[in-house]
Amino acid sequence: MIKRNLLVMGLAVLLSACGFQLRGTGTNDLAIKELDVSARNAYGDTVIQLRQVLENSGVHVYTGATYKLFLADERETQRNLSYASAGRASDIELSTELSFQIQGRDHLPLMGDKIQVQKVVSHDGNNLVGSDSEIVQVRKEMRRELVQRMILRLQLLTPVQLEALQQAADNKAKADADALKAAKEYEDNTPKQSPVEVPVE
């Protein structure tokens, strides 16, 4: 028994040294130390939980930070995978999809992506209350997983990468503005044709 415990402890130390972290333990290390976090659904559970996890991970979350994480859309869907026969439960696939965008200075979009979480639950037509309660609980677990995956995405970003994305966005915005200005100058300097007069007979 002691040998097995030592083996488990040894593996845990080895894995942590490699950067592995058990789900729900410790803190998430993020290179980004400050972030503005907002959502289309400003008072939704997802954005509230995400702010809490970021703050617990040492990120200063406040309005006005240089970089902004915007949760653009969150959609929950469900579909039947099987239909119940007499005395049997049906399988339902629950899905949550989160679209997000990271913005930089002047609200320029730097990058965007989607995160999706899916779970399959059994729905018992003979126990609707119990089945509905289970779906609510599974949805909460899915939201926690969604937040965790969002944190994992943010862990991949560094200030250097964000600054490179910002520079690319600045260059694109300047090129677009220059092209628009050139098009307007061309239009302004192009002689306008006089309307053709049709002779009256």
Average pLDDT, the chain: 82
Task: Please give the average per-residue pLDDT across 40-54, as a whole number.
Answer: 95
Per the document, the length of the chain is 201
CB-neighbour burial class of residue 50 (10 A; exposed 0-12, middle 13-18, buried 19+): buried
List the structure tokens of 137.
């609980």
The region of weakest confidence among 17-26, 89-98, 115-124, 140-149 is: 17-26
Q: What is the pLDDT of residue 186?
A: 85
- CB count within 10 Å of CB 96 equals 20
pTM for the complete prediction?
0.70
Q: What is the pLDDT of residue 83?
A: 72
Q: Which residues contact 36 (CB under 8 A, 6 or more apart)?
A: 61, 62, 63, 64, 65, 67, 68, 69
The region of weakest confidence among 9-13, 65-69, 178-182, 185-189 is: 9-13
The domain 27-176: what is its CATH number?
Answer: 3.30.160.150
Asked if 96 contacts 116 with a C-beta cutoff of 8 angstroms, the reply is yes
Q: Over pLDDT 90: what percentage of the chain?
A: 56
In the chain, where the domains are located: 27-176
The region of weakest confidence among 82-86, 98-102, 193-197 is: 193-197
- 56-88 in b/e form (b: 16+ CB < 10 A) is ebebebeeebebbbbbeebeeeeeeeeeeeeee
